[in-house]
Structure 1
């Protein structure tokens, strides 16, 4: 979950890593905020990590990556619902 200044709280699935499917080398942190269409780009956020879903993987195709991300998002929803 992340807290956006001035204090709104949003649930999110977060990726920390290098994005190996696209030959990424730079480590990034990306948060997919769940169930909102709020424009949070450019905002300062604090991220509270609740659980780890899986490690970084290199997928054979973008389609395989999308399927995994959808499963990760559903798993994140289940985990966050329990907290």
Structure 2
């Protein structure tokens, strides 16, 4: 029986403001967008790194929970004020 390796690299993304963009990026020689979601304040998304997804880009104010710890992205509004 040929079983695939199960990847356990999950991240949890919680939007702190409306219109947080979560973008999945592909693996390979050419990095491309392959999936995009927009989260509103309070919405949560659970994402997994797979054989196709090598990176996740977050635009907007959100908390990201990973096996390595928690990180918070800046608001789109705050980035223009700096």
- TM-score over 0.5 for the alignment? no
Q: Hey, which of these two has a bigger chunk of strand by percent?
A: 2
The structure with the larger Rg is 2
TM-score, L = length of structure 1: 0.28
